[in-house]
Amino acid sequence: MFSYILFDLDGTLTDPKEGITASVRHALKSFGIEEPDADKLTPFIGPPLRESFMKYYGFTPEQAEEAVGKYREYFSQKGKYENVIYPGIPELLRDLKAAGAHLAVASSKPTVFVEDILNYFGIRQYFEIVVGSELDGRRDRKEEVVREVLWQFARKGAANPSSVVMVGDRKYDIEGACAAGTHSVGVTYGYAQPGELQEAGAEILVRNVEGLRSVLLGSGQGAWQGAWRPDAEAARDPHACSGAVDGRNLYERYRQPGKGRPETKASRTGKAIGACALAMLTYFGVNLAAGTAVLLAGMLFYSVVPGGMSQSVYNYLLNLGNAAGVIAAFLVCFAVWRREVRLRPGVPTDGLSLVPMAVLAASLAAGLNGLLSLIELYRYSPTFREVSEMQFDTPLWLGILSFGILAPLGEEFVFRGVVYGRLKKVGGVPAAVVISGLLFGLFHGNLVQAVYATALGIVLAVVYEIYDSILAPMAFHAVANLFVYLVMDQLPFGGVFASLPACIFFLVLSAVSLVMMVKWQKSRT
Number of C-beta neighbours around residue 288 at 10 A = 15
Question: Which H, E and C letters describe 2-13, residue by residue?
Answer: CCEEEECCECCC
Coil, strand or helix: which one is 102? strand
Catalytic member of 8, 10, 15, 169: 8
Active site residue 8: yes
What b/e sequence results for 150-161 when a residue is b if at least 16 CB atoms lie within 10 Å of its CB, and e otherwise?
bbbbeeeebebb
Which residues touch 35 (CB under 8 Å, ≥6 apart)? 24, 25, 28, 41
Beta bridge partners of 14: 10, 85
Number of C-beta neighbours around residue 517 at 10 A = 26
**In Å, how far from its chain's centre is CA 273?**
16
C-beta separation of 141 from 49 below 8 A? no
CA distance linking residue 228 with residue 440, whole number of Å: 33
CA distance linking residue 93 with residue 121, whole number of Å: 12
Which residues touch 190 (CB under 8 Å, ≥6 apart)? 10, 11, 12, 45, 46, 168, 169, 170
C-beta separation of 433 from 461 below 8 A? yes
Sheet holding 129-133, edge to edge: 129-133, 102-110, 4-7, 164-168, 183-187, 204-206
Question: Which residues are annotated as catalytic?
Answer: 8
